[in-house]
């Protein structure tokens, strides 16, 4: 067989495997519809909030004060549509499987990049003089797809092995299913001394794949251009946790593409999982969270009850006097939220500074290709939600710069060819946030 035929056969295998994986993780959604609901009255908004909190049969993808995007199973569609008619709101529907098929068919399959990865170093004997062009080409391959858990850990450990003078690879702890919650510490100066810390995490919700890639891209760009960021990194340690919810992330690849929570299973119960971003111990279970175990916003049995949450809390509490920025990366919606999210009319005392820094970051993101972010509290723009990391970091630990970033990507999907663009524009925002750490 010729080498060309072998390459073509391998490509067909990759495509077939990708299609099979996609089919498996959407198998439970036959007959589901996506609803986009528009409304301009408080009754409809309150109804949507109540549904999100208490009705486990619906999955909200986006909920704002004038629009909701959600999926509804076939058994509940007639009742839901009847209630929408009673509320006199407008809505559009689309079969979910048809939507996902269209999204995946619109993603460009790039033969040149398929299967390529950033070359990993597993020991300290790396060739630091290897050609930069080769590394760049391999990086483009990694950031044109969504890696699995083991690939992410390999990528992170490889960066630490290649740049040991600037980067440390570690684990904050283990998830419910025993996976490492891996982290990278990046600093310009390896001397042991107190440094201000910029803490950035992603993928607290398993289905938000693009978030992990943006944080990994931040690590890659900082390390491969370390001299260009000397001023930004001066006396600042960047601490990155790209995959806070590794169990949920893997589950979205193998079983349920839209799984949100972690994978905590409870004996004797059919429902599982805790919403990590409702589990932090600031106004826990106050509003926008549920004690219904089957709810998408189930807040857990107690504040910080989950191993994923407690791992983050341990790190932040131990370093509370050094951490000056806490940034929790989610998708989707193109929002930058600052505290407080637990109540609509609760304004933090440093709201001016929080808003000013967010505006600067949004401006830097917009320079790349014009993407525009909305800035404010999640309670004022979306709905009240308690137990989030941004409220905990600011309200409980006194971390002065605390934000939640909601990236682009409707339906929790960014096409493969567009991953690198979201990474690049978000990188500019990350750098602006980090730049302000040195001011504290």
The residues carrying an active-site annotation are: 406
Give the residue from 340, 337, 342 showing the smallest Cα distance to 287.
342
Residues with Cβ < 8 Å from 255, sequence gap 6 or more?
A: 24, 25, 27
Asked, as a colleague might, if the bond just before 340 is cis with ω within 30 of 0, I would say yes
**CA–CA separation, 322 and 235 (whole Å):** 11
Task: Give CA separation, 124 vs 82, 142, 159, 165, 239, in Å.
Answer: 64, 22, 11, 10, 21
**CA–CA separation, 238 and 436 (whole Å):** 12
Give the residue from 433, 246, 250 showing the smallest Cα distance to 356.
433
**CA–CA separation, 348 and 228 (whole Å):** 35
> Which residue matches tokens 């959600």?
70
**CA–CA separation, 107 and 111 (whole Å):** 12
What are residue 58's DSSP bridge partners? 72
Task: Concatenate the DSSP letters of all residues of 329-381 into one string.
Answer: EEESSSEEE-S--SSTT---TTHHHHHHHHHHHHHHHHHHH----EEE-HHHH
**CA–CA separation, 350 and 339 (whole Å):** 10
Q: Is the dihedral of CA 371, 342, 318, 291 positive or negative?
A: negative
* Both tokens assigned to 105: 């068919």
* Both tokens assigned to 30: 């036959």
**CA–CA separation, 62 and 411 (whole Å):** 9
> Which residue matches tokens 């000013």?
356
Residues 239, 365 contacting (CB under 8 angstroms): no
Task: Give CA separation, 317 vs 238, 293, 322, 339, in Å.
Answer: 16, 28, 10, 18
- Which phi and psi (to 5°) does residue 298 adopt? -60, 130
């Amino acid at each position: 067989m010729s080498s060309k035929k072998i390459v073509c056969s391998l490509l067909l295998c990759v495509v077939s495997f990708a299609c099979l994986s996609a089919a498996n993780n959407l198998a439970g959604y036959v007959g589901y519809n996506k609803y986009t609901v528009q409304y301009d009255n408080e009754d409809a908004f309150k109804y949507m909030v109540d549904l999100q909190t208490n009705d486990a049969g619906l999955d909200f993808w986006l909920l704002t004060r004038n629009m909701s995007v959600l999926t509804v199973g076939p058994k509940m569609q007639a009742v839901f549509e009847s209630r929408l008619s009673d509320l006199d709101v407008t809505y559009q529907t689309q079969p979910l499987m048809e939507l996902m098929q269209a999204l995946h068919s619109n993603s460009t399959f790039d033969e040149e990049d398929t299967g390529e990865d950033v070359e990993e170093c597993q020991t300290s004997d790396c060739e630091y003089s290897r050609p930069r062009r080769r590394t760049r080409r391999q990086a483009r391959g990694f950031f044109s797809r969504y890696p699995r858990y083991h690939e992410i850990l390999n990528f992170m450990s490889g960066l630490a092995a290649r740049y040991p003078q600037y980067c440390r690879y570690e684990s904050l702890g283990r998830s419910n299913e025993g996976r490492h919650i891996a982290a990278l510490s990046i600093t310009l100066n390896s001397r042991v001394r107190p440094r201000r810390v910029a803490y950035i995490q992603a993928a607290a919700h398993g289905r938000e794949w693009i978030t992990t890639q943006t944080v990994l891209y931040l690590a890659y760009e900082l390390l491969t251009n370390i001299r260009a960021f000397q001023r930004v990194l001066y006396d600042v340690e960047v601490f990155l946790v790209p995959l806070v919810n590794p169990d949920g992330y893997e589950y979205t690849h193998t079983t349920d593409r839209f799984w949100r929570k972690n994978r905590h299973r409870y004996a004797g119960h059919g429902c599982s999982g805790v919403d990590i971003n409702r589990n932090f111990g600031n106004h826990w279970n106050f509003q926008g969270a549920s004690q219904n175990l089957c709810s998408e916003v189930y807040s857990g049995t107690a504040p910080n009850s989950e191993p994923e949450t407690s791992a983050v809390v341990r790190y932040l509490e131990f370093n509370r006097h050094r951490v000056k920025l806490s940034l929790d990366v989610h998708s989707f919606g193109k929002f930058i939220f600052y505290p407080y999210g637990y109540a609509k009319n609760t304004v933090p005392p440093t709201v001016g500074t929080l808003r000013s820094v967010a505006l600067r970051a949004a401006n830097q993101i917009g320079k790349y290709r014009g993407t525009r972010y909305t800035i404010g509290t999640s309670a004022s723009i979306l709905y009240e939600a308690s137990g989030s990391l941004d409220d905990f970091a600011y309200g409980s630990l006194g971390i002065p710069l605390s934000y939640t970033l909601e990236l682009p990507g409707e339906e929790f999907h960014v096409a493969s060819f567009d991953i690198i663009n979201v990474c690049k524009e978000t990188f500019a925002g990350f750098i602006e946030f980090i730049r302000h750490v040195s001011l504290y």
